[in-house]
Structure 1
Amino acid sequence: MKLSVLDRSRTRTGVGHAEALRETVEFARSVEALGYHRFWVSEHHGVPGVAGSAPTVLAAAVAGATTRIRVGTGGVMLPNHRPLVVAEQFGVLDALFPGRIDMGLGRSVGFTQPVRRALGQSDATDFDAQLDELLSYFTDTARVRAYPAVGRHVPAFVLATGAGAGVAAAHGLPLVIGAFRGEEAMLEAISTYRSTFRPSSWSSSPYVVVSTAVAVADTTEDAWRLLVPEAWSMAYSRTHGEFPALRAPEEILAAEMRPRERQYFEESLRGQLYGTPTEVRKAVEELRARTGADELLVTTSTFDRTALLASYRHLATLFPAHP
């Protein structure tokens, strides 16, 4: 099973947005050396704790700093962009870094209503139609030619939010689905995707990428603590309406959480994989057996960047890349 990385360019206490972006680029260089298959960046707007707001720009910086690893987006959110512009951006990326660019596409909308208004979003956005239009620029079947995208094959992936699994199947595209959706919902979506998949020029058979946080450390407790900062940040966002910078787990665990915040904190930790190398190997193999995943997209964020890289190093050792 291929191992890949999604990095959200999270800020940390004492570390601002500019440094978080530079850390993302350096992190990509590190995981490339460990043999990871892809390195994707995300799109968030108006979120204080996340520096990644322009994924194609950041992807260009990552691709320029690396040599082998595939680089892409997880993903570009089509409700925020015109398909022509997205096609042109990925066309430029592929022209500069041929054969290394992925086009991960999603349908999530802005975090708050003011952000959605600033992005010019509409409730009537038709993701299926936007995806059709975007792909047509690469196949040269659109009414307008998108240079330099015309004739280029940039692998496209659909992020499974809402009806995303069905859309991916209908267009014959690989599916990216989060294990955090819940076990039953995830397995149902994967089953629907495989049973309704229509082969296309983009993909001849179903391809499933499962995304989840994975933390590996010398002890189970240390691995769990790696997940605490992001879980707390998610809980805080749901109770306060904004993502804070990541804090050290010691600070979080020493502070008192309100009951609702505690509930969200515990929910955020469910379904994530953590433990010693032996425990994580077993957990990943079980996840692969349940889902039939072709690839694992690791989404771990934490306060301690050194410990984070060590976790990714442990995981790469457990599932080494093959030529």
Structure 2
Amino acid sequence: MSSVPLSILDRANTRVINGQTVEARAIFAEVTSRAQQAEKLGYQRFWVAEHHSVPGIAGSSPTLLIPHLAAATSHIRLGTGGIMVPSHQPFVIAEHIGTLTALTDNRFDAGLGASVGFTKPVRAALQHAADAKEHFADNVDDIIGYLNGTGEVTAYPQDRSQTPLHILTGGGSAQLAATRGAGLVLGGPAVTRGLNTTNETNQAVAEYRQRFTRSPLREHQPHVIASVNIAIAASRQAAEQLVLSEAWALTRSRSIGVFQPLEDPDTIMAAEPSEQQQRRISKALASSIYGTQEEVLEQIERVLAYTQADEIMVTGNIWDPAAQQESDRLLMEAWNAR
């Protein structure tokens, strides 16, 4: 597994300090600093996400954030994890892809997702039709046609089939990725199930590789990226503190319907979560990889054995940006030394 590269997906999570939510300007500066360090450390890609009307996430417009990151870096690949196709017109998505590839000197990866707004008001604001997700495959085909110049119209700047395309999925869209000659980005249980099994492999990945049809225009090879929350510290307990903030935000969202800014883990523990909340926290922690360098490497190897992935993408965000960058550094240090 020595040739498997590491990448990062940053959601631009906001956080609370002394009862105040950190401004988006500061969050984006931290994202930029993290991207610069990731480039120096040797990470393969740095992707940013798209979430709409989420108080705990500043990252709503990845296609606007990427040019800023491109200006602050020189060679690391940048991408969207992802552009949520139901929220945009396919032709406009194709224009954005062509523009970003031109602006980044071909460093751009287009990750495409099918998610819609989390709540009914958000879906209404985005003008989502009730069956928006059902048109995902057709919309992806339209985007490919506009990019390749094989559609009824061509998107400009012309992409000329340069930009690598990836489909984000929990496994359900693996066949779509295969038949369109796109990369596959797996997340959720399709990845973390590997933490609890030693003799199985992900069948969606096997079928993706078997069904992969290389486009005569794009000529991309099958490529599987496994995305999973990862955090490293000097001890397992310290690493658990790093992933606790996001686990708590996910837990609270189950109760109040809103994913809020990340909170200081010390504040969370002082609040003494209820038994139900603690069960939900434990469930969220079980879907993360965290611990010392040695413990994390062993868990990643299990995920790789299960997913047969070509690449690992680190997701999840940590309340303390300095601890986030230190975790990134420790991971790459351990990965290179194994």
Is it true that 1:198 corresponds to 2:208 in the alignment?
A: no
1:137-216 to structure 2, matched below 5 A, reads 137-161=146-170, 163-181=172-190, 182-183=192-193, 187-201=202-216, 202-216=218-232
User: Where does residue 57 of structure 1 map in the other structure?
Assistant: 64
Q: What is the rounded CA distance, in whole Å, between the counterparts of 2:236 and 2:75 in structure 1?
A: 33
Identity of aligned residues (%): 40
Q: Cα distance, 1:267 vs. partner?
A: 1.5
Any idea what SS the aligned residue of 2:156 has? coil
Q: One-letter code of the match for 2:61?
A: A
Is it true that 1:248 corresponds to 2:267 in the alignment?
A: no
Gap change, CA 1:262 and 1:203, over 3 Å in 2? farther
Q: Cα distance, 1:273 vs. partner?
A: 1.0
Q: Cα distance, 1:204 vs. partner?
A: 4.6
1:288-307 to structure 2, matched below 5 A, reads 288-307=304-323
User: Where does residue 257 of structure 1 map in the other structure?
Assistant: 273
Is it true that 1:45 corresponds to 2:48 in the alignment?
A: no
The answer to whether the Cα contact below 8 Å between 2:230 and 2:315 also exists between their aligned partners in 1 is yes
- TM-score with structure 2 setting the length: 0.90
Q: Cα distance, 1:163 vs. partner?
A: 2.4
Any idea what SS the aligned residue of 2:68 has? helix
The answer to whether the Cα contact below 8 Å between 2:171 and 2:204 also exists between their aligned partners in 1 is no
The answer to whether the Cα contact below 8 Å between 2:170 and 2:188 also exists between their aligned partners in 1 is no
Q: What is the rounded CA distance, in whole Å, between the counterparts of 1:231 and 1:88 in structure 2?
A: 36
1:21-170 to structure 2, matched below 5 A, reads 21-125=28-132, 126-161=135-170, 163-170=172-179
User: Where does residue 237 of structure 1 map in the other structure?
Assistant: 253
Q: What is the rounded CA distance, in whole Å, between the counterparts of 2:273 and 2:152 in structure 1?
A: 55
User: Where does residue 197 of structure 2 map in the other structure?
Assistant: none
Output the aligned Cα RMSD.
1.8
Q: What is the rounded CA distance, in whole Å, between the counterparts of 1:89 and 1:297 in structure 2?
A: 23
Gap change, CA 1:52 and 1:151, over 3 Å in 2? same
The answer to whether the Cα contact below 8 Å between 1:213 and 1:273 also exists between their aligned partners in 2 is yes
User: Where does residue 275 of structure 1 map in the other structure?
Assistant: 291
Any idea what SS the aligned residue of 1:210 has? strand
Is it true that 1:11 corresponds to 2:20 in the alignment?
A: no
Q: What is the rounded CA distance, in whole Å, between the counterparts of 2:56 and 2:285 in structure 1?
A: 19
Q: What is the rounded CA distance, in whole Å, between the counterparts of 1:180 and 1:304 in structure 2?
A: 26
Question: What are the superposed Cα offsets for residues 257-301 of structure 1, whole Å, 9 maximum, x if unpaired?
Answer: 234433322211113111111111222122212221100000131
Q: One-letter code of the match for 1:277?
A: Q
The answer to whether the Cα contact below 8 Å between 1:178 and 1:186 also exists between their aligned partners in 2 is no
- TM-score with structure 1 setting the length: 0.94
Q: What is the rounded CA distance, in whole Å, between the counterparts of 2:291 and 2:138 in structure 1?
A: 43
Question: What are the superposed Cα offsets for residues 80-108 of structure 1, whole Å, 9 maximum, x if unpaired?
Answer: 00111011111111111122000000001
- The number of residue pairs the alignment matches comes to 321
Segments of 5+ residues of structure 1 without an aligned counterpart are: none
